[in-house]
Amino acid sequence: MLEKLYPGEYLDSTYQIDFRKLYSEGYRGVIFDIDNTLVPHGAPSDDRSNALFQELHKTGWKTIVLSNNKEPRVKLFADKAETDYIYNAGKPGRKGYLDAMEHMGTDLSNTLFVGDQIFTDIWGANRTGIRTILVKPIHPKEEIQIVLKRYLEKIVIYFYQKNITK
């Protein structure tokens, strides 16, 4: 039952993902969550995230950020990172992920999703059929509803890690 929540991969940081290797494997679009995936919760785009998007675009990637946040927060990040965005995405619902792929011109076979939350980001992308990469949150400061979900995520991650070592 928990397998529906398991990520395809679990890494320490978005910034350690080998996007060149993934591109060589045929992936062409990447959908990102913002908060605690690319920058600390509520933070604007920074030099590191901007450099990542520049490198991805130079390589040929299509990118988009998919967030449950309201437009002002998402637009502020996306404009500085020079990427497209979808706000009020309704994750873990499938519609936002499908809209993101349509916007990028990609499909299930060549799209990745990168996020830090299991019950919204990963579950939604898994339900849609997109390859998922779960990353550890950048910063411990989060809204209370997210802090509470982190306790349940620890259980899922425990069984995920136990399952992949079999």
Residue type at 114? V
Predicted pLDDT at 9? 95
pLDDT for residue 121: 96
Number of structural domains in the chain: 1
| Cα gap 162→166, rounded to integer Å | 7
Predicted confidence at residue 141, as pLDDT, reads: 66
Contact 115, 146 (CB under 8 A): no
Structure tokens at 137: 């949150």
Residue 30 has a pLDDT of 98
Strand order in the sheet with 9-11: 9-11, 131-135, 111-115, 29-32, 62-66, 84-86
Residues in the chain: 166
Amino acid at 112: L
At 92, list the tokens.
Answer: 């873990």
Task: Specify the residue for token string 């979900």.
Answer: 149
CATH for 111: 3.40.50.1000
The predicted pLDDT at position 146 comes to 65
Q: Cα dihedral angle (7, 12, 13, 16), rounded to 10 degrees?
A: -100
Q: Tell the burial category of 134 from Cβ atoms under 10 Å away from its Cβ (0-12, 13-18, 19+).
A: buried
The 10 Å Cβ neighbour count of residue 60 is 8
Determine the pLDDT at residue 105. Answer: 98
| pTM (two decimals) | 0.91
The series of mean pLDDT values per 10 residues for the chain, 166 residues long, is 88 97 98 96 94 98 97 96 97 98 98 95 97 90 66 82 76
Strand partners, 132: 113
Angle subtended by helix axes 71-81 and 47-59, to nearest 10: 60
Residue numbers of the domain that contains 89: 2-164
